[in-house]
Amino acid sequence: MFHQGFDDIKAINLKKRQLRSLIESLPKRQMAVIESRYSRQLEETETLCAVANLYKHQNHLLLSQQLLTHPHPRVPIQCHETEPPNQGC
């Protein structure tokens, strides 16, 4: 009976050490999980930003090319004389 109690104490101490080790390494584990979880999303976001920038650049080039090949018609500017200020009665 005494040996059984001694074995139980050993098992409890072993579990206590394992639990303490798990608790101490928890921030490291959480950091690893967070990095693995969000690194993919970060890569996807960076890819989307690169694609959006490329699209904006290509759209700008296309608009520039359209302006060069099809310029807007010139509209004559008409100058109007300004009316003298209304002098009250």
Residue type, 52: A
Length of the chain: 89
pLDDT of residue 5: 64
The residues of the chain scoring below 70 in pLDDT are: 1-6, 23, 71-89
For residues 44 and 53, give the distance between their C-alpha atoms in angstroms, rounded to a whole number: 14
42: closest CA among 50, 85, 62?
A: 50
pLDDT of residue 78: 63
Q: How far is CA 54 from CA 20, 43, 58, 61, 63, in A?
A: 51, 16, 6, 11, 14
Q: pLDDT, tens digit, for every residue of 16-30? A: 788 778 767 777 777
Predicted TM-score (pTM) of this structure: 0.39
pLDDT of residue 6: 65
